[in-house]
Structure 1
Amino acid sequence: MYLTLDQTATTPLYLQLEARLRDALSSGTWKAGEALPPERALAQQFGVSRLTLRKALERLEAQGLVQRRQGSGTYVAPRLEQPLSALTGFSQDMRARGLEPSDRWLKRGLFAASPEEVLALQLSPGERVARLERVRSAQGEPMAVERAAIPAHLLPEPEAVKDSLYTHLEGRGLRPWRALQRLRAVAAGRQEAGLLGVRSGSPLLYIERLSFLPDGGVLEFTRSHYRGDRYDFVAELRSS
């Protein structure tokens, strides 16, 4: 790879270098999870100081394109493609990619349904829901904050859910049959940013999912915030 910089341009060298490295990452010069060459080698290759190189790498890291590991080097940040055509859970998705999922529980128990949950789950006022809130991680890295609500009569013991919610529900004969999802881009608030280890204002994908049983009853109402620097949601379109 040979990417020249214009030493006479008014654009600072670190911004030129950032753009060249971003293009190289986009073109697949380095694969996800692969280490970039050592800083000394990259600086020599582009004819810049290591300080200039570090400024460019810091900007790429802030965009979620690379990960800098103390004492190890700089690595291409992984991105996960999530198909929108399959009804699967986080644990299943990660294991299908050879990644080990893990959770940090924030809340798990029975609670009075909020007005939003009453409406979404088609409940009567005063009914309770099983509420499951957790940070979902892959290979130890936070990927999403997930908040799920299920009618209490369908999940009377939410503490029994250890890993995959869908696996637990299927064990109770409650396999989700279809789902509706709504996605939109949002900026990370202080709470989500802290839980996901990103800066406030960072791009997130907010997803609402309603899952249904074969008889048409609502099984699950889930609201999730996914890291925009780690996830691509992919939909296959066909001509009618």
Structure 2
Amino acid sequence: MNQNRVNELFGAAEELREKGIPLYMQVKKAILASISAGRVLGGDTLPPERDLAKYLDISRVTVRRAIDELVKEDVLTQRQGAGTFVSERVEQPLNHLRSFTEVMKARGKAITSKWLDRSLGMPHEDECKALELSPEQEVVRFYRLRYADDKPMALELATIPSNYILNPFAMEGSLYDLLEQQGCRPVRAFQRLRAISIDEQRAQLLDIPELSAVLYIERTAVTQAGTPIEFTRSWFPGDSYDFVAEIHNTI
């Protein structure tokens, strides 16, 4: 056991003997304090439960309960056969219109994608409504799994009217880069966010348990002329993102 590593988390073991507070809650509080103080960073591995229990002179059941609570809250992530990790979170502002590629590149991440669908077809009802299309107007769809540093970070399903992009295979990297090359990059967007439970198929793609809480976002973006050009539905793992927005007093 690396005692220095455990010390980073808990300091002196005597500190975990606060009267009137369940012991597992004190372990949980100590882990959270260590993360907040930056002593343990996103992606760092926690010491094994048996080592923590031995060092703190408490039962493994108590340690496991504290860790389970933090996993449920998406503070920690468990990977079978690899251990328990501090969840890596991306802080993404909601008041800037940026692509996934731009957000991740700004954080020095290596970006890759797995294509699930690139196709030309007739619009569905929700696509007609979002993009103000008639049922006879064709659209192109881009459905892909997005990775950052080889970690699944998002599922994206984007729909674009075919008069902007006729060939689905014209896009390889950033959708916004392609639209900008054609002089029709979106300049503003309306986004709707909500938490949902992920279905089995998407859970497998994102490498998370079925029914895990994820953030589902619908974005409708428009051009400088106010014409809807993009309708994107995205699924983000709940333990990977903090979405932030600046709020102003309008009074």
Q: Does structure 1 residue 97 correspond to structure 2 residue 107? A: yes
Q: Does structure 1 residue 33 correspond to structure 2 residue 53? A: no
Specify the alignment match of 2:3 in structure 1: none
Amino acid at match of 1:92: E
Specify the alignment match of 1:116 in structure 2: 126
Specify the alignment match of 1:131 in structure 2: 141
TM-score, L = length of structure 2: 0.83
Contact 1:2/1:45 (8 A) holds in 2:
no
Choose from 165, 170, 180 the match for 1:170.
180
Query: Residues 215, 46 of structure 1: CA spacing in aligned structure 2 closer, same or farther, 3 A cutoff?
Result: same
RMSD between aligned residues:
2.7
The alignment-based identity, stated in percent, is: 42
Specify the alignment match of 1:213 in structure 2: 223
Specify the alignment match of 2:205 in structure 1: 195
Compare 46-55 and 117-126 and name the one that shifted more.
46-55
- Kindly state the Cα deviation for residue 162 of structure 1 after the two structures are TM-superposed: 0.8
Choose from 150, 155, 161 the match for 2:165.
155
Specify the alignment match of 1:44 in structure 2: 54
Q: Distance in 1 between matches of 2:82 and 2:136?
A: 54
Please list the CA deviations of residues 11-50 of structure 1 after superposition, one character each: whole Å capped at 9, or x if unmatched: 5x65653454344334543122234346565333311355
Please list the CA deviations of residues 205-239 of structure 1 after superposition, one character each: whole Å capped at 9, or x if unmatched: 11111111111111100111111111110001122
Q: Which runs of 5+ in 1 are unaligned?
A: none
Specify the alignment match of 2:4 in structure 1: none
Q: Distance in 1 between matches of 2:205 and 2:28?
A: 28
Query: Residues 151, 29 of structure 1: CA spacing in aligned structure 2 closer, same or farther, 3 A cutoff?
Result: same
Please list the CA deviations of residues 169-217 of structure 1 after superposition, one character each: whole Å capped at 9, or x if unmatched: 1112111111111111112222322221112222111111111111111
Amino acid at match of 1:149: T
Specify the alignment match of 1:76 in structure 2: 86
Q: Distance in 2 between matches of 1:69 and 1:122?
A: 43
Q: Which runs of 5+ in 2 are unaligned?
A: 1-10
Contact 2:18/2:26 (8 A) holds in 1:
no
Q: Distance in 2 between matches of 1:214 and 1:113?
A: 23
SS of 1:64's equivalent in the other structure is: coil
Q: Distance in 2 between matches of 1:102 and 1:194?
A: 18
SS of 1:159's equivalent in the other structure is: helix
Q: Distance in 2 between matches of 1:59 and 1:140?
A: 27
Contact 1:209/1:220 (8 A) holds in 2:
yes
Q: Does structure 1 residue 231 correspond to structure 2 residue 238? A: no
